[in-house]
Amino acid sequence: MNFVLSDYHAAKKEEFRRFAETEIDRGEHYPRENLQKAAARGYMGLPLPREWGGQGEDFLTYTLLIEELSRVCASTGAILAVHTSVGTFPLLYFGTDLQKKRYLAGLAHGELLGAFALTEAGAGSDAAALNTGAKAVNGGYLLNGCKLFITSGGEADLYTVFATVDRRRGHKGISAFLVEKGLPGLTAGKSEKKMGLNRSSTTEIRMEDVHVPASNRLGQEGAGFHIAMSLLDGGRIGIAAQGLGLARAALDYTTAYLKEQEISGQKPGQSAAFTLADLATRLEAARLLVYRAAAVKESGKKCSREASMAKYYATDLAVAVATRCIDLCGIPAAGSAGPLAGYFCDAKATQIYEGTNQIQRIVVARELLNG
């Protein structure tokens, strides 16, 4: 068992840190240029096999990338995480050779952006209750319904859409479909105004008689719910890595601020020192959980429990760290001029998406009680 990063992983982490600090901007608009720069380095397909256009890196290396990106711009980290884990992996794990040939290299090179369309107005936490219908017609399916809060909605080129061929069958009626941007009947609503992760686009996706050829069904008919759940396991590790990046950002800022105060003669009191120590210790604990979840995922074993533990612990911690850092720095430093309020808002969003932290606790508890 190894509790420190290997030299290889430490070097990759350093590479990602330098990239994020020197090339990633923290602006307010959709971070198109950031994504182009990431694509130029092969980061849009980092954990994809080389034969499919990726960099052939392992899942821990991808996790380190998301952590470092999110420390500088959490929206860029969010878009890249969603694109990779639930936008591209569906094809890698469940695609036919033909589907892979058609889309994977484009996704890996960042020429195509991937998205995941599961959530609906009546099917958020209870994903199996989705209502979007898929009616079998000659040579394919007609999709009708409306998805909500879709990360990269309107920007994405390829959506993995979950729809039911038979509502009476509950989760066993759900299938997954690869739906290309621009198909007649497919429209994206305007981007939601969110509390955090505001540079990413989050929209409704409406489908009115969208014809999807049968060759674009992903996996077997009725296998969609299993596909969604297994993808979310990996996706949640990416969100956990975002929590790590955000917690580090807040802690780094606050430590630097308190040091500056000390230089100008205002030594932080013991209570502030204890708080800093406590936050740094919890951050290390979160990091172990997140890296371990990535290692379990990489091993090919089921990682639902580890991913959910990492997701809720690291993202709850990110909110706690941002909150305590605001307390430590006080209003002048934490106000709109400083970045802490932004870290807080971004961290809050990571508690919610790809399964709320209450859902993560349900996943862990079910494994304990039913396992």
The residues assigned a catalytic role are 354
Q: Which residue is nearest to ligand COS (CB)?
A: 355
Residue-wise DSSP of 162-187 = EEES-GGGGGGGEEEEEEETT-TTEE
Phi, psi of 192 (to 5 degrees): -65, 145
Would you count residue 354 as binding ligand COS (CB under 6 A)? yes
Q: Is residue 232 close enough to count as binding ligand COS by CB under 6 A?
A: yes
Of 104 and 127, the one with the shorter C-beta distance to ligand COS is: 127
Pairing type for strands 202-213 and 158-164 reads: unpaired
Q: Number of residues in contact with ligand COS, rule: CB under 6 A?
A: 21
106 CA to centre of own chain: 20
Asked if 349 interacts with ligand COS (CB under 6 A), we say: no
Q: Is 87 in the site for ligand COS (CB under 6 A)?
A: no
CB 150 to ligand COS: min, Å: 8
CA distances from 212 to 25, 199, 216, 298, 361 (A): 38, 30, 6, 33, 36
Residue for token pair 């969603």: 82
Sign of the Cα pseudo-torsion (231, 322, 80, 293, in order): negative
Q: Which of 55, 230, 255, 261 binds ligand COS (CB under 6 A)?
A: 230
Q: Is the dihedral of CA 105, 67, 353, 292 positive or negative?
A: positive
Q: Which residue stretch of 154-162, 181-189, 223-231, 270-278 sits at the interface with ligand COS (rule: CB under 6 A)? A: 223-231
- Position 304 contacts ligand COS (CB under 6 A): yes
Query: CA separation (Å) from 270 to 7, 153, 267, 274, 276?
Result: 36, 47, 9, 6, 10
Could you say whether residue 127 binds ligand COS (CB under 6 A)? yes
Q: Does 112 bind ligand COS (CB under 6 A)?
A: no
**Can residue 70 be called a binding residue for ligand COS (CB under 6 A)?**
no
Residues that bind ligand COS (CB under 6 A): 116, 118-119, 125-128, 171, 225-226, 229-230, 232-233, 304, 353-355, 359, 362-363
